[in-house]
Every structure is written in C-alpha cells, then in structure tokens.
A and B are shown apart, each in its own frame.
Chain A
Amino acid sequence: MQPANLLLLTLVLAIVAYWLGYARSRSLAMPLGGIRHLKSLPFYYGARAALWSGIPALIVLGLWAAFQGKVIQMIVIGGLPEGIIPATDGEASLLLSKISNVASGALPPGFVEAPIAEAAERLQALRTQSRFLMSGLVISVAVLAGFLGWLRIRPRLNARSQVESILKWVFFACAALAILTTVGIIFSVAFETFRFFGKVPFTEFIFGSHWSPQTALRADQVASQGAFGMIPLFTGTLLISAIAMVVAVPVGLLSAIYLSEYAGRKVRGVVKPLLEMLAGIPTVVYGFFAALTVAPFISDLAASMGIEASSQSALAAGAVMGIMIIPFVSSLSDDVINAVPQAMRDGSLALGATQSETMKKVIFPAALPGIMGGILLAVSRAIGETMIVVMAAGLAANLTANPLETVTTVTVQIVTLLTGDQEFDSAKTLAAFALGAMLFLATLLLNVIALKIVRKYREQYD
C-alpha cells in the first residue's frame, strides 16, 4: 500500500478505535447507572482509544517511510556480485540510478549488464516486500495498540487527564520541532562543510581571492584546477547588498517618517498596504524585472553616456533588491518611531521646534538604536536573497567595487553548484555546503545582534 493511503487507513482505524472506546465506556457505565458513574466523559475514553491506536502506528509509519529508501539501497548495493561493487559514493549513486531506471522501466533490461538487471529485479522485489511489510506492521500496530487501549477502559480510569497529558506532549513535540530544524540545518551543513575542508584547506577557502569551482574531470587535465577562494563571492555579495541598502534605507526610512508623522489617516490607509504589496511580490518576479528590464536599461543608459556597463551589472540586481527591501525597512522603522513616547514629541513641539526639527533632533536619535537593528535585519535579508541575484547577477567571480561590472554572490554560487549536473562527493558540491555554512553563520550573527538591539530598545521605553 502507498504511504499516503496507509496514512488514511491509520486515521480511519483511529476513528474506529474512537467509536469502540466510546461505546465501551458507555456500556461499562450503563450497569452502574449511567455515564455519571464514569470518571470522565465517554468522549475522552474514545479519544484515548484513538490516540492509543493512532500515535504508535503513525510513528512506525513515519520511521519506515523515512528510512526504507536508504535501507533498500544499501541491501541492493550489498548484494551486488564481486567486481562491480562501487568503490566510491559517487559511483554508487550512479549505479543506483541506473538500477532504479531499469526497475522503473525507463531503461530496458537488455541494455545493461546481467548483474544490474538482476539487481533491478531485486530492487523491485524489495520495494514490494517493504511496502507489504510496512502495511502489515502499521495495521497490526494500530489494531493491537488500539485493542490494548480499548481493553483497559474501566469506569474508574481517568481518561481525560491521560488524553490531556498526551496532547500536551504532542504540543511540546511540535514546539520542539523548531529546535530540531535548527539542529538539522547545523548538522547537514556542518557535516558536508567538514568534508569540504578535508579536500580544500580552510585558509584557502577563507582568504583565497580566486574562485573557479570547475574541478578536473580527468586526472590528467591541467587546465581546470578548481580554485575555492571565497573573497570574490564575499565582496560581490557585499557590493550588491550595499547598493540595495543605499536604495532601501533612505527611501524606506523617509517614507516611514512621512507616514507616521505627517500623513493623514486616509493617505496612510492607502499608501501603507501599497508599500506592503512590494514585500508580498515573489522574489522571482523581482528577478525577472531586474534581469529583463532594469539591467538592459542600465547598460543602455551607460552606453549612451559612453561608459561601459555589463549587461548583468551589480547595480541592476542591487537596485531591484533595494526596492524589495523598502517595505521591510519602512515597517520596522515605523514600529520604532511609533514606540517613541508621545511625551518627547510634545515636549519638543512645546518648545517651539518645527515638526521636522522634532523629528531630526529628538525622535530620530531616540529611535536610532531600533532603526539600526531594523537595518541589520534588512542587511541579513539582502545577503541571503537568492532569486534576484541568480537571475540578474552573473556567474563570473570578479573582485571589483565597480557597480557596473558583473559580480557573483554566495547564493548564486550555491544554486549553480547544486543544480544541473552534479558530481557526487566532489569538492564542487561540497563547496556549496561550505558556502551555505558561511551564509548561515553570517545571517545568524546579524539576526542575533539585531534582535538584541531591537529588544533592548523596546524595553527602554516600555
């Protein structure tokens, strides 16, 4: 049975268990003189039976479905005859994809060696077996556990507190998933990163000023020795982020000031949602706009002024990214400006300062730490932004500060290294994870600092 169908069946079984538990509690209560002699309402006896039946079955199902693919692969590889047992992980995955292509019928068995065709048959058989075993196991766990739960229903059993404590644990598990996700990110990225540093020295990665991840395909190739120096990527990312900030900070901040201090309710009611619309537009749309409209416009404009500009200039990607970040800056600044106590505003105005003087000399300095926090968050967003740069910035890793030239960024390289043809286990693929680790650390650091500043600032005026 397919996992999805099995999931539905488990739910059906849990519902059946609910009704059986419900009925049993009532039938136990009747001879005693009605359900008021039960410790809990019949609903809770039913719910308890359903949880007993459903939760173990779901855990079994989840674990089986998660690991069956890997286990079957290992059995198939292990069962290959001497001579074609793959030496490296890369060969193994190539072989596996060949075997599974034969098994799925995409590749006729006649086209491959006999052992592979046999392995494909075994793969198919194992898959059927696994599916069969999984269905049997899940159904029997659901029925058995449900039956045990059903059997233990007594009038004196406090089903409600049991159900409630199970639910509480379920809620806790959901909240703890956030930790699990973070741990997952750290482990998945860290593991591959360490393997990368086994191939490329750490100092070369951090301090190297040359990036060209084309590693040699054959051992005798001389031309393409991969170079993994992340400095050009780092400067490229910073250049584009800086351009984005130059656009986003003044525009976002000034519009936040105008909207919070000058604009009437009506203007605010119209302009604010429109600004927020900028934040709701998918990044791929900005990328499209940057690559097909802004970049050609900039290079034409530069050409008409006699300056040479790349058709994938950093300026185009950065400017469009800035537009994307405007609402982010403006809504964060809006929050902190509004958090400045009214008394400070009134005090300044009462001394005869104009509104703009109040803004510039009183409110802005008071709100500055919060605004800085907001800007740091915006920077972290710009650094991690992917689609705009993938579509509008280039692939060439130039070490330059000229916004009209092509630069590449960390995120662009991650995407290019991990899409398209992948060599498994090569320094090239692992480099993407190392870049991901750097990106994660950089954004994490910015976020932690920014959140701390914002929180501290908020406490100051609470």
Chain B
Amino acid sequence: MKKIFIGAVFILGSFIGQAQDSTQTVTVKTILDTYFENIGGREAWSKLTSYRFTAKVNAQGMEIPITVINQKDGKTMTKFSLQGQEMVQGSFDGESMWSTNFMTQKAEKSSSEDTENYKRSIGEFPDALLTYDSLGYQLELEGEETKEGVECYKLKMTKKKQLVEGEEKDNIVYYYFDKENFVPIMTEEQILSGEMTGKKSQMLYSDYQEISDGMYYPFSLTSQVEGIGGQTIEITEIEINVEIDQTMFNFPEN
C-alpha cells in the first residue's frame, strides 16, 4: 500500500491509489471501501483512541501555532498561541464546552446550545465517515459535481439534528470525493446562524500524507465560504494514540 502511494506521488506526479473497477456500479459502499483502503484501512483507523495535531495558520506574514487534541470519548481541545499566550477554543471536558475570552484571558463556558450540539456529534471519531452508520446517520450518493476543477462524487450525510436558536434543524454535510482517487477533497454545509446564514461553508482537504504505517491524512485544511476567503491550517505533525493529561480538558475555575 505504502509503495503504491509513493509510486503514485513521485512517479506519476499524482496519487492514484486504488481506483474503482470501471465496470462496477459506484455506491456509497464502494466509494467508502476504496477510500478507507487507500488511507490505511478501516481497522487501523478504528484503533485510534486519540490524536494530536500540531499546526499553524499563516495569515499574511503572521504565523499562529495551533494544537488540536481529540479523544474517542469526545474530549477535545483546540489551543493556539499568540505571543506566547495560550488561548483555548472549544474545549470539551465531558460536560462543558469552554473557550478563553480574549479580552480577559479567562475561561468562559459556551452556550448550552453549542455544548448540546457538540455532544450530539460525539462519536464522529476519528471521522464521521467511519462511524456514521453506528451513529444512525444517513449517507447517500447524490450524484456528481465538479469541485476544485475535479470531477467528484457527491455524498450527502444527514447527521443528528442541531439546535439553532432553540429550534431543531437538519444537520447535513456534503462530501465531494475525487473520482480518480476516492478521497474527499471538499466538504460543504449550510451556515445556520450568524451573519453568513444561508451561505455554504466549505472545507478543502489536500496534502494527504502518511501519519503512521499506511494511514494517510490531509495535512492542509482550508476553510472558505462559497469559494471566497480561504484560511488554511497547515498541519506539521499528527500523533496518534498519545498520552494526554486529562485535566487539561477541564473547565478551569478562574
């Protein structure tokens, strides 16, 4: 598997991986089977209990280091550093979501709605594409569409509903799988609240690289709204099944 990747990347200048047999009918199952085979296999990914990204955001000369930690039990933390000051965004300790208030530099709990919505997503570990079935999510093949200049399969994932201003709203994410190499290059969902309500937020995935024995992950994640205003997170290191001090997730009593 690894050799195929290296050959694909460096000889043809692109990834080929396992392509679909052209005579086979494309279904959600065949797309995901090929995808997981290409990125290291379902079994390997299922063994993950935690991972830690070290990354940076570069905004026109200003570089911000970021660390993201996710655990199978849903505990999570995103931490970034500004001039040596560490700020936490969206940490979850099993009960509460919390973030650092930038002004006071103190921890504040997220709204109960945000916390509830996060709790509903617990189980999407390491990724919803692996666990969607057990979570009761629906995944359908919607058709084909060109994204990023690439012909893609469009998959629609219907997750658990989300609370938006107190009301239950559908929670739908579209995945675009490159038809040539069966990895997602974009996800897309409608923004349900705030100034951009109704527009589509997109996440681009690229720079797939090996993180551990045959397991591949996109090291470049770009968020944008309908193709505009891209902001990229460049991952520099991914560690899996790491020892994590569990107290760091806890909401700090100021």
A and B pair up:
no
